[in-house]
Structure 1
């Protein structure tokens, strides 16, 4: 698993795409993932599936 990117909503129509270089074995990252594993939602698929999901969420 690698983090490909994180989308952050800063305000109305104001977003940041963060492409962090965080190793997957970083203990703090694992703690955050474990803490929030059952909140929100996620989508898994190929690149086009993910792009469509992002488009659907924002438009």
Structure 2
């Protein structure tokens, strides 16, 4: 007769992803979200520097 309290190895669910894959996904998400914040601001700064009246010579 088996004990119903202790689960058998087949009853314990395996993780779908390894822990290093989860960490890589989190880091990639942070990188993408940071780029979404920084690239528009950098584009505005580059545009303002390129079209500044002193630099354009007008």
Band the TM-score falls in, shorter-chain normalisation: under 0.3
Max radius of gyration: which structure? 2
Please state which structure has a larger fraction of its residues in strand: 1
Q: TM-score, normalised by structure 1?
A: 0.23
Please state which structure has a larger fraction of its residues in helix: 2
Q: TM-score, normalised by structure 2?
A: 0.23
